[in-house]
Amino acid sequence: MILVTGGAGYIGSHLVKKLKEENKDLIVFDNFEKGHRWAVKDVEVVEGDLRNEKDVENLFENYKIDEIFHFAAFSLVGESMKEPDKYFKNNVCGTLNLLKAMKKHGTRYIVFSSTAAVYGEPENIPITEDQKKEPTNVYGQSKLMIEDALKWYSNLDIIRYVALRYFNAAGAYPDGSIGEDHDPETHLIPIVLETALGNREKMYVYGNDYPTKDGTPVRDYIHVMDLIDAHIQAMEWMKKNNQSDVFNLGNGQGFSVLEVIKTAEKVTKRKINYEITSRRSGDPAVLIASSNKSKKILNWEPQYPQLEKIISDAWNWHKNR
């Protein structure tokens, strides 16, 4: 059976829906602190918390878990700098409980949601997996600590893992049934679309004095469905080759904040009011992935690399929800 931790969250719920369409036998484990009940309709769910060893132990006692997609984590950079204890405890200690249960119950395979934030300020663009990893925020550090733990469990031949370092996940299920919904929302594309809808009077652009083409930060936006495909391919690769590894997941293309706003105006046919304000602390100027390794080894290729398609799927979800 497949376990999806954080399966009621944004990216987890997209994988769950896809696996259900493929009739896979799966169980979602979520504490519903950030996840949504509506995102896991018609799915078997165990409500519990990774920080609680007993919850994790019961889960592994009650289900024969063969493989894990591990999404459950807190993921807000700003919050992580204000509440580091919360991030280390949930992300790191929670995962250690999961690893302990894997060891005890002989569960061998795990695909882990890591992040571009492990790199910190990049040395070179595009970013390759072997670049130095010096996170500039607690969120990135917590994910890097988990990557290190995974490496040791793999070296000790207890598990095999793939860590996937996401760049900027965006978009929604193309049928419009599920999508991104954070509270509070801090991510650019949902905020742009909420502004287009009139739910926000205006939005703020955090700085236009970066060394980029128009002064606003550049990011690599990747469609959530492409991320999901990579997870499925990573799990297959790991089982087939009995290996562990780390991969970037991005489009290899960068768009500035102003380009995102302009594209969203085109997609929504609405004017988006924005105001330039000061930089958000910890934001690097440019993050663009090299995904050559994922393409070569996992045989993965983004199906929806166009920013317009990413934004229009997100828009389809936001305007109809």
Should residue 186 be labelled a site residue for ligand UDP when binding is judged by CB under 6 A? Answer: yes
Q: Which residues contact 278 (CB under 8 A, 6 or more apart)?
A: 206, 207
Q: Sheet containing 218-219: which strands, arranged edge to edge?
A: 255-256, 218-219, 286-287
195, 202 in Cβ contact below 8 A? yes
Check residue 314 for interaction with ligand UDP (CB under 6 A). no
CB of 59 to ligand UDP, least distance (A): 30
The token duo for 97 is 């409980």
Asked if 206 interacts with ligand UDP (CB under 6 A), we say: yes
Other CB atoms within 10 A of residue 271 CB: 9
Q: Which of 15, 50, 257, 267 binds ligand UDP (CB under 6 A)?
A: 257
* Span of 82-90, 124-132, 200-208, 264-272 interacting with ligand UDP by CB under 6 A: 200-208
Smallest distance from the beta carbon of 244 to ligand UDP, in angstroms? 25
Provide the minimum distance between the beta carbon of 278 and ligand UDP in the complex, in angstroms, as a whole number: 10
Task: Report the residue from 53, 79, 265, 283 that binds ligand UDP according to the rule CB under 6 A.
Answer: 283
Position closest to ligand UDP via CB: 217
What is d(CA 129, CA 108) in angstroms, rounded to the nearest whole number? 24
* CB 191, min distance to ligand UDP, A: 4
Closer CB to ligand UDP, residue 15 or residue 205?
Answer: 205
Residue in 63, 109, 139, 210 annotated catalytic: 139
Between 68 and 285, whose beta carbon lies closer to ligand UDP? 285
- Helix and strand element counts for the chain (H, E): 11, 14
Examine the residue annotation and report whether 173 is marked as an active-site residue of this protein.
Answer: no
Stretch that binds ligand UDP, among 52-60, 100-108, 184-192, 239-247 (CB under 6 A): 184-192
Residue 32 interacting with ligand UDP (CB under 6 A):
no
- Give dist(CA 17, CA 25) in Å, integer: 12
Size of the site for ligand UDP (CB under 6 A): 15
Give the DSSP letter of residue 38: G
* Beta strand spans in the chain (E): 2-5, 26-30, 45-47, 67-70, 109-115, 160-166, 168-170, 203-206, 218-219, 221-223, 245-249, 255-256, 274-277, 286-287
**Which residues contact ligand UDP (rule: CB under 6 A)?**
77, 168, 186-188, 191, 203-206, 217, 219, 257, 280, 283
Q: Catalogue the active-site residues.
A: 139
